[in-house]
Amino acid sequence: MATAGVALGQRAVPAQGHPILKPPRLREGDVVGIVSPAGATFERDRLDLVIDAVKALGFVPEVAPHALARYGYLAGTDTERAADLNAMFADSAVKALLPIRGDWGSARILPYLDYDTIRANPKVLIGFSDISALLLGIYAQTGLVTFHGPHGITSWRPEQVEPLRRILINGEALTYRNPLLGADQDRLMRDQGRLQTITPGQATGPLLGGNLSVIAGIVGSPYLPDTTGAILFLEDVGESPYRIDRMLTQLKLAGVLNGLAGFVFGQCQACGPGQSYGSLTLEEILRDHIQPLGIPAYGGAWIGHVEPLWTLPIGGTLTMDAIAGTLQMQSPAVV
């Protein structure tokens, strides 16, 4: 197998050079803090749904004081939302933080978080979409491994719950590959979750990434970790191809793509060209920006606004295979 751009054993250094911290593994009966760091939850039954999910997972829910607060489209003011996260990290009884939803607003609270307290009290933080800003910002400022995975109002079906349990409770190191879904289970060829190898090869490095729009919004700040030697994954939803092109160009011009060990693009839901005349395709855009890097790269990974949602360790060391389309954890992400 070709191994173009192989980079074994490299590590990305968090922004302030802190050592990598892994949170303690979860146990049934642990307290899970339900927080709302981004968009407002307008209906009480959405919070009740998350409470039910946490109980069904075998944990004890603790709702943050401002979980149902509202400041326009945000779940309270920036200081209120940050205060909830700071309090949850400071509370030794709380073992994990689960946001209700994403939407927008996580980046706004990054300057108000108490990173010394977070570093002194490592615990599981999980979410996706807008929560990417928190996952990356906290990792950059503290070295704490965070988790790109379900937030509260996702489906919590067995195919999503089982790997989460194996990673966060059992402390297993998993290999991720696209699931075989729906009608594809009894047909000769795959339709959903098809892979496109951009550049063949394998690479090993810390996994960084998340929502492309969110990452583009924190470029140039101290809340985006150093991506040198990392495997970068990106996903998005509801973005026209020219906007994906523009944001990848921003990452390229800012040097975020320089020195990567590998690259993975996930799913881009509702990202078609619509009625635009002569639009570039997503495949062409990825080829233009990523292929010249000469590193192992592939697209179509089952990462993004799709279900089942994978639980991926941000800052954990993984090995990617751009032909097989796999990501393999090299060690447990919890201690």
A 10 A CB-CB count for 155 gives: 13
Q: Strand 196-199 vs strand 175-176: parallel, antiparallel, or unpaired?
A: unpaired
Both tokens of 89, joined, read 């990290």
User: In this structure, are residues 115 and 50 in contact, taking their beta carbons and an 8 Å threshold?
Assistant: no
CA distances to 17, 39, 68, 217 from 71, rounded to whole Å, are: 35, 9, 10, 21
DSSP state letters, 132-197: HHHHHHHHHHH-B-EEE---TTS---HHHHHHHHHHHTS----EE-----GGGGGSSS--TT--EE
CA dihedral 52, 55, 57, 59 (to 10 degrees): 140
Q: Is 24 exposed, middle or buried (0-12, 13-18, 19+ CB in 10 A)?
A: middle
Active-site residue, selected from the candidate residues 36, 129, 132, 213: 129
Active site residue 305: yes
At residue 110, φ and ψ (nearest 5 deg) are -55, -40
Locus of tokens 């994978």: 310
Active-site residue, selected from the candidate residues 132, 235, 239, 289: 235
Please confirm whether the linkage preceding 308 is cis (ω < 30° from 0).
yes
Active centre residues (catalytic): 129, 235, 305
